[in-house]
Amino acid sequence: MATQQINIPDIGDFDSVEVIEVLVAEGDVVAVDDSLVTLESDKATMEIPSPVSGKVTKVTVKVGDSVAEGDYILDIEADEAAAEEAPKADAKKEDPAKEAPKEAPKAEKPAPPPQETKAPAPNVPPVPKPVNAQSMGAAYHASPSVRAFARKLGVDLNAVTGSGPKGRIQQNDVEAMIKSVMQGSAAASGQPQGGAGIPSVPEIDFSQFGETETVELGRIKKISGKFLQTSWLNVPHVTQFDESDITEMDAFRKSMKAQAEKAGVKLTPLVFVMKAVVKALQEFPNFNASLSPDGQSIIKKHYYNIGVAVDTPNGLVVPVVRDVDQKGIFDLSKDLMELSAKARDGKLTPADMSGGCFTISSLGGIGGTQFTPIVNAPEVAIMGLSKAKMQPVWNGAEFEPRLVMPFSVSYDHRVIDGAEGVRFTTTVGQYLTDLRQLIL
């Protein structure tokens, strides 16, 4: 049997992700593809599978650690079959010109792990890894999301001290930097302030009024809360309210129920809203855009990916349905069912949650009349759907019962003005009232 060192495989465009679960312990026996650890990025969770079967002999990570591609996490004493297959797989990857002669003697011990260039000499302690960004040849070390966060707030990362592994700068380091600067400004002015010069909420000991309990926010709520606050502080929101008569649309949806069941999907009003929104986005391209980082131009998108807010036990997530303009209602229903299931199971990948152009948040299945959704920046608009109800509507001769759905659209006033906002909501409402207009 040979001990194999397990490293973090390719995890996409992430420099650092947090370990939120260690699924094995020393002495556990694992099979190929058994999950070893669970990682969570800003957008999704992912499980790292075992490439070999065998016994776990050492675990080097713990919950809360940050890891990146290539980081060493544990050792597995691989089964004989797995140990024999590993050298074969490595040999296939080698350059034929660099292959050792066939008659070379076999090594009695397993080769050193890929990330080490030389094994330490006997009785000589290994040289410790660099602990700061400067020793790694960089002015600072931070993930793309932290860099983007710092850019939005105008923070120079050269002035921030990283508290993460290898001196990596984390988002809380940037926040601490801003807090220290603002506290200094507040001390100079004699006025308590929060970030960006906003007065902070006073701290109160609520236990003086009665019994209290402190419950930590879930990780998804912590992450989404920061992004929502950033969007609210940076985007000048305007919300336009409207409503649409969806009587005919709902009748058509119900008439297609049997056909939908035969296709293995559940037909909901949301898919019709998605088609109506995309048609309106094609007519009002400013809604299908993003503002450039310098705020001087608009980046218009020629694809139509719609984010759909999904309520999960761990918090709100927004998976993205791609190419909505190219799909029928059954295909969209299938995509929604699959993404919703992955969201509830915590299996969404970063790819599932990226590339959105416009977001829809539907509370119609719960209740309420109207609400003001927060723009999912860097998108410039978001729609909120509320519960439809039967209302008496005057048809010119008498009142008749009609199914009316209220909805709202919040948008970035730097990109979209009020008149365009009203035209957009009116157009969406017309399409939902008469679906035949979608094919014109």
Q: Residues 257-301: pLDDT tens digits?
A: 999 999 999 999 999 999 999 999 999 999 999 999 888 999 999
Q: Are 391 and 401 in contact (CB under 8 A)?
A: yes
CA 403 to chain centre: 35
Tens digit of each residue's pLDDT (9 = 90 or more) over 205-245: 999 999 999 988 887 888 888 888 889 989 999 999 999 99
Integer Cα distance of 13 and 24 in angstroms: 26
CA 335 to chain centre: 17
Query: Tokens standing for 141?
Result: 């070390």
Which residues fall within 8 angstroms of residue 155, CB to CB, at 6 or more apart? 174, 177, 178
Q: Which residue has the higher pLDDT, 248 or 97?
A: 248
Integer Cα distance of 257 and 274 in angstroms: 18
Tens digit of each residue's pLDDT (9 = 90 or more) over 65-101: 889 888 999 999 887 665 555 555 444 444 444 444 4
The strand pair at 29-30 and 72-78 is best described as unpaired
| Mean pLDDT for the stretch of residues 369-395 | 95
> pTM above 0.75?
no
Tens digit of each residue's pLDDT (9 = 90 or more) over 9-68: 887 767 788 888 888 889 888 888 888 988 877 666 778 889 999 999 999 999 888 898
- Is 340 in a helix, a strand, or coil? helix
Set out the domains of the chain in order of their start, with CATH numbers.
Answer: 2-98 (2.40.50.100), 136-192 (4.10.320.10), 236-439 (3.30.559.10)
Q: Are 364 and 387 in contact (CB under 8 A)?
A: yes
| pLDDT score at 144 | 63
Partners of 404 in beta bridges: 245, 389
Query: Tokens standing for 280?
Result: 């309106």
| pLDDT score at 217 | 84
Confidence of residue 121 (pLDDT cuts 50, 70, 90): very low
Helices 219-234 and 144-153, packing angle to 10 deg:
30
Percent of the chain as helix, strand, coil, to the nearest 5: 35, 20, 40
Q: Is 141 among the catalytic positions?
A: no
| pLDDT score at 437 | 92
Percent of the chain with pLDDT over 90: 45
Q: Is 271 exposed, middle or buried (0-12, 13-18, 19+ CB in 10 A)?
A: buried
Q: C-alpha angle 70/74/76, rounded to 5°?
A: 115
- Is 274 in a helix, a strand, or coil? helix
Q: Which residue has the higher pLDDT, 199 or 170?
A: 170
Which residues fall within 8 angstroms of residue 57, CB to CB, at 6 or more apart? 3, 26, 75, 76, 77
Phi-psi map region of 166: left, alpha, beta (phi>0 left; psi -120 to 50 alpha)? left
| pLDDT score at 23 | 87
> Mean pLDDT highest for which of 5-14, 48-57, 161-170, 424-433?
424-433
Indicate whether 133 pLDDT > 80. Answer: no
